[in-house]
A = this chain, B = another copy of it.
Amino acid sequence: MYNSELNKYSSGDVIMELNAYAAGLERTYGKDTVFNYTLGNPSVAPPESVYEAVRDLMNKTDQMAVHGYSPNPGFRNVRQHIAEMINRKYGRELTLEHVYLVPGSCAGLAILCKALTEPGDEFIVIAPYFTEYSAYVDAAGAKLVEVMVDLETFHLDNEAIRRATTPHTKAIIIDSPNNPSGAVYPEENLRCLSRVLREKEAEYGHPIFLISDEPYREIVYGDTEMPYLMNLYGHTIVSYSYSKSLSLAGERIAYLAFSEEIPDLPDLMRAVGGAGRIFGHACAPTLFQLALLKCSDDLVDISQYRENRDLLAGHLKKCGFEFVPPEGAFYILMKSPVDDAVRFAKEIAEKYRVIVVPTDAFGLPGYVRFAYCVSRDMIERSLPALSSIAEEYLKGNRS
């Protein structure tokens, strides 16, 4: 009686399902006995500047200028502010016309895929990938093409990307720092990608867009700095979110930034506006749009995430688990000690109440993801359980 084509999207949200399972265990056994590593929900409070900005806005005389509708692409002064911030930081020459505020990067990516898609188009994603990409590409009516990451380094396998590119390739979606691997792609790896894409553009005679999904841009722990991709490749569109940098994941505040080099930008912006409209995205929430005027350059205290990483990664290593040490975001992607990662995740959830996400739905079987954006205390309490899991699975003495 209802739209059954949507069923595939209602069961695919593995992370939310596991999180609900963990919440159920917590209700039954008490919060302190469950180690929930499922959800990429920030665990560090927003910076003080967010509070100041909100307090100031709630005291403004003209409250309807704060809480009324903004134009669909966002307030003009906020778009201008973001364009100037990008120009200052990364040496671009964007104007407000290159910035479109969206209610969260999920909205931005869904809108962008729809706006770019012509019949027959293909979008390349790098497995393992954020599960929602496939939903947005699918909703746009385009074809998803998965290219496996280099499993030694979790950097881009540019030769595999070259082979996957066809005359139908409209765009490639990447995210660095990466969810779920925590990898940060080195500059040379990204330069190589841009060479491949330029070569393929020349071969096929049309643009191939690079969609850079950057919610974790500033969540980087080593010396690796993420280059601004527009500076390496002119046909770049950045999807940026304040979910992680300001810990505002629930407030749905993000933007799309379009390189000045994108051809026929007014046509694309018309399509973006149309896609936003048919999907029901009237505007990004206005209080937090305006708050950005005060706090867009600020950052949560990422040392807490770094310390979490060091503690958890150190222990997993000591236990003998296999993983590539993550340099950014707040995830560790660990090789499952048994081939069937779904079974492994299920067993350790039931026996040890350690809840991790098997990445089969991310396009990479055989691995599980730890999200370490959790309390230090929870990580510490989980260490004995992780040792027991190593004991059981790595020493060959399974019962």
Are A274 and B115 in contact, with the CB atoms below 8 A? no
Q: Per-residue CB proximity of A96-137 to B under 8 Å, as 1/0?
A: 000000011011111100111110000000000000100110
Are A1 and B285 in contact, with the CB atoms below 8 A? no
In the complex formed, the residue of B with least CB distance to A267 is B2
From residue 1 to 17 of chain A, which have CB atoms closer than 8 A to chain B? 1-4, 6-11, 13, 16
Q: Which residues of B contact A6 (CB under 8 A)?
A: 114-115, 270-271, 273-275, 278
Task: Pick from A63-71, A181-189, A310-318 the stretch touching chain B.
Answer: A63-71
The answer to whether A328 has its CB under 8 Å from any CB of chain B is: no
Are B117 and A3 in contact, with the CB atoms below 8 A? yes
Q: Which of B9, B58, B70, B289 contacts A273 (CB 8 A)?
A: B9
Q: Which residues of B contact A71 (CB under 8 A)?
A: 16, 20
Smallest beta-carbon distance A181→chain B, Å: 21
Smallest beta-carbon distance A381→chain B, Å: 18
- Complex-state Cα separation, A198 to B271, whole angstroms: 40
Q: Which residues of B contact A287 (CB under 8 A)?
A: 250-251, 287
Smallest beta-carbon distance A236→chain B, Å: 16
Smallest beta-carbon distance A130→chain B, Å: 12
Are B280 and A108 in contact, with the CB atoms below 8 A? yes
Given contacts A1-B118, A3-B275, A106-B282, contact A63 B45 (CB under 8 A): yes
- Complex-state Cα separation, A298 to B136, whole angstroms: 37
Q: Which residues of B contact A9 (CB under 8 A)?
A: 273-275, 277-278
Q: Which residues of B contact A51 (CB under 8 A)?
A: 58
Are B3 and A111 in contact, with the CB atoms below 8 A? no
The dominant DSSP class at the A interface is helix
The answer to whether A192 has its CB under 8 Å from any CB of chain B is: no
4 more CB-based (< 8 A) A-B contacts, given A136-B278, A251-B285: A1-B207, A1-B263, A3-B117, A67-B248
In the complex formed, the residue of B with least CB distance to A66 is B250
The answer to whether A279 has its CB under 8 Å from any CB of chain B is: yes
Q: Which residues of B contact A55 (CB under 8 A)?
A: 55, 58
The answer to whether A387 has its CB under 8 Å from any CB of chain B is: no
How many copies of this chain does the complex contain? 2
Are B283 and A252 in contact, with the CB atoms below 8 A? yes
Q: Which 4 A-B residue pairings sit nearest by Cβ, starting from the closest?
A: A110-B280, A250-B286, A6-B274, A9-B274
Interface footprint category on A? 35 or more
Given contacts A67-B46, A103-B252, A250-B66, contact A285 B285 (CB under 8 A): yes
Smallest beta-carbon distance A241→chain B, Å: 10
- Complex-state Cα separation, A13 to B248, whole angstroms: 30
Are B277 and A13 in contact, with the CB atoms below 8 A? yes
Q: Which residues of B contact A118 (CB under 8 A)?
A: 1-4
Q: Which residues of B contact A270 (CB under 8 A)?
A: 2, 6-7, 10-11
A7, A249, A279 interface centre (most CB from chain B within 10 Å) = A279
Are B116 and A3 in contact, with the CB atoms below 8 A? yes
The answer to whether A148 has its CB under 8 Å from any CB of chain B is: no
Smallest beta-carbon distance A42→chain B, Å: 6
Q: Which of B106, B109, B264 contacts A281 (CB 8 A)?
A: B106
A39, A68, A118, A281 interface centre (most CB from chain B within 10 Å) = A68
The answer to whether A378 has its CB under 8 Å from any CB of chain B is: no
Q: Which residues of B contact A68 (CB under 8 A)?
A: 41-42, 247, 249-250
Smallest beta-carbon distance A188→chain B, Å: 30
Are A69 and B39 in contact, with the CB atoms below 8 A? yes
